[in-house]
Amino acid sequence: MRALLRWLLCLLLAGIALELFFVLRITMMVSIDPQSTTFQRSEAWRIVTAGRINGPSPWSQHWVPYAQISGALKRAVIASEDDDFIYHHGVEWDAIEAARKRNERAQALAKRRALWAEAHGRPAPAPKIRGGSTITQQLAKNLLLSGERTLPRKAQELALTVTLELLLDKRRILEIYLNNVEWGEGIYGAEAAARHYYGKSAAQLNAAEAARLAVMLPNPRAFQRRSGSSYLARRSQVIEARMNDVQIP
């Protein structure tokens, strides 16, 4: 019994130490720009272990201050990813519940399609799972957490989201997000994306270019391969039309 209690105590202390580490990391981000995220490092490792490096480094990132990122891109990303960004406190519970219901329907549909595919000797399509995450939640996940989909990891994401909102203002959260988010394989941040896709700086992006980059965010590697996607073109027009109604920090 004592051994079990000691083990539980050690587990509790380890959990507290981890949370304190996360709080310290986020506190430092008030004034220190993070040089990389957990997601970026895991992706770099995936590329290396897959043996896909045959030239320059696969990592392209150029940090730029908030003022040097086009206002059009800020508006486009908020319009596309989280149109209530400046109003909420990090988590939108209604959006999470709506995403959960959508995903349940998608999984049920995927099961029916899998049965049909099995009967006809065809590969089963994967369910299209979508999230209800805010920009702050996405930042919490990419900065400090793994990509696994488990309840403990989701709980940790929510805790870190609240911490980010308490310690950083909306302008800083958006600045860190835009400088670290993925825009294609090995392409991180607004400056690297603007240079890669348009040959210009993030400060020079116009509304149409910004809208197109924003629409890529949910699945950037797929849209990187299918730059001529009709969906990408249609959705970009929708986002561009909504950008003037968006408030930015």
Q: How far is CA 122 from CA 109, 111, 114, 127, 131, in A?
A: 16, 14, 9, 15, 28
> For residue 42, what pLDDT is reported?
85
pLDDT for 115 equals 60
Residue type at position 45 = W
- Domain residue spans in the chain? 93-131
On whether the pTM is more than 0.75, the answer is: yes
- What pLDDT does 105 receive? 57
Rounded CA-CA distance 50/48 in Å is 5
Distances from the Cα of 184 to the Cα of 5, 35, 93, angstroms? 47, 18, 29
CB 208 within 8 A of CB 194: no
**pLDDT attached to residue 140:** 93
How does pLDDT run along the chain (249 residues), one tens digit per residue?
777 777 877 877 777 877 788 889 999 999 999 988 888 888 877 877 776 555 555 677 889 999 999 999 999 999 999 989 999 887 776 655 555 555 555 455 556 655 655 565 655 554 444 556 899 999 999 998 866 677 777 888 888 999 999 999 999 999 999 999 999 988 999 999 999 999 999 999 999 999 999 999 989 988 988 888 889 999 999 999 999 999 999
The predicted pLDDT at position 129 comes to 45
Residue 218: CB atoms within 10 A of its CB come to 13
